[in-house]
């Protein structure tokens, strides 16, 4: 089991600089959050790859900056939107291939759309197959503003995809959806590829692991059995220094 840091923690620091910041620590796992179209260009990805290689890091996952557009592309009755979405996401899958990242993070359909969930799952499955052409797993994250932020839809997605869907467990999103983490683990059981870790207290639901009230002694043994990889992923107002992120990784790996 490997734990890393997401470059998203440093937003709005530009992605290459954020990756350099992580490379200057002892942490070797990283999730790369791409933030603009120019970061999908081969020259830019080559620079990221060079940083990763020189620092002997591993890219555990890639996160698209177009997550908020996934309803537009993959939950629409307008046929050519899906086709254009596939063309765009091929660029992300190629970025994963270049960076040797096994996972692409996917948020999917917003919870308030009228688009049939069955049709969305069909589109997810089609895009999942495209990812496999590049050796990349398209993994559904439990995001509170999206349909799959909730237990019932995760269970239903497994049914509608013949249990081929794969998942990313995000702890802060689970808290915001008021989903108990144990219940989410049960719903995703056997299909969790990756996890986004954070802690919480009474004042903040997104803190560095080890600085809050999360029951890590109970949660981490199960996460270790279920997930293939994990990263500390925080919002910028949830920590003050890079060392807190490094300490959080050490805290997680101590289990």
For the stretch 18-51, pLDDT in tens is: 999 999 999 999 999 999 999 999 999 999 999 9
Tell me if 59 sits within 8 A of 15, measured CB to CB: no
Q: 114 CB contacts (<8 Å, ≥6 apart)? A: none
DSSP helix/strand/coil, 160: helix
What is the tens place of the pLDDT at every residue in 164-223? Answer: 999 999 999 999 999 999 999 999 999 999 999 999 999 999 999 999 999 999 999 999
In angstroms, how far is the first alpha carbon of the chain from the final one? 11
pLDDT value of position 255: 83
- % of the chain at pLDDT higher than 70: 100
Dig out the tokens for 118 from the structure: 């069955």
pLDDT value of position 190: 97
Checking if the pLDDT of 79 tops 90, the result is no
Instruction: Give buried/exposed letters for 70-92 (b at 16+ CB in 10 A, else e).
Output: bbbbbbbeeeebbeebbeebebb
List C-alpha distances in Å: 135 to 100, 109, 139: 9, 24, 13
pLDDT value of position 2: 81
| Region label for 131, one of left (φ > 0), alpha (ψ between -120 and 50) or beta (otherwise) | alpha
**For the chain, what's the residue count?**
255
Half-sphere exposure of 175 (CA within 13 A, CB side): 16
pTM of the predicted structure, to 2 decimals: 0.97
Mean pLDDT of the chain: 97
Interhelix angle 216-226/181-188, nearest 10 degrees? 10
pLDDT value of position 82: 97
Helix, strand, coil percentages (3-state) for the chain, rounded to 5, are 50, 15, 30
DSSP helix/strand/coil, 55: coil
List C-alpha distances in Å: 172 to 29, 82, 88, 176: 20, 30, 28, 6
Q: Where are the alpha helices (DSSP H) in 100-226?
A: 117-133, 151-160, 171-176, 181-188, 216-226
To the nearest 10°, the Cα dihedral for 126, 132, 133, 138?
70
Checking if the pLDDT of 136 tops 80, the result is yes
List C-alpha distances in Å: 45 to 8, 161, 193: 16, 32, 23
Q: How far, in Å, CA of 118 to CA of 121, rounded?
A: 5
């Amino acid at each position: 089991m490997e734990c890393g840091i997401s470059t998203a923690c440093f937003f709005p620091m530009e992605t290459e600089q954020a990756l350099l910041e992580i490379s200057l620590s002892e942490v070797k796992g990283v999730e790369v959050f791409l933030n603009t179209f120019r970061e999908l260009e081969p020259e830019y990805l080559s620079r990221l790859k060079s940083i990763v290689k020189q620092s002997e890091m591993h890219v555990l996952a890639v996160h698209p900056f177009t997550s908020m557009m996934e309803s537009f592309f993959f939950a629409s009755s307008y046929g050519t939107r899906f086709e254009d979405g596939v063309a765009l996401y091929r660029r992300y899958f190629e970025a994963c291939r270049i960076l040797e990242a096994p996972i692409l993070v996917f948020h999917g359909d917003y919870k308030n759309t009228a688009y049939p969930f069955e049709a969305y799952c069909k589109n997810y499955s089609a895009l999942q197959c495209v990812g496999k052409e590049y050796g990349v797993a398209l993994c559904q994250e439990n995001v509170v503003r999206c349909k799959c932020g909730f237990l019932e839809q995760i269970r239903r997605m497994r049914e509608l995809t013949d249990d081929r869907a794969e998942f990313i467990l995000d702890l802060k999103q689970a808290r915001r959806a008021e989903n108990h983490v144990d219940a989410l683990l049960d719903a995703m059981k056997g299909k969790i590829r990756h996890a986004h870790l954070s802690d919480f207290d009474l004042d903040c639901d997104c803190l560095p692991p080890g600085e809050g009230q999360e029951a890590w002694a109970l949660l981490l043994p199960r996460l270790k059995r279920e997930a293939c990889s994990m990263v500390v992923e925080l919002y910028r107002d949830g920590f003050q220094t890079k060392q807190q992120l490094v300490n959080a990784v050490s805290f997680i790996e101590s289990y």
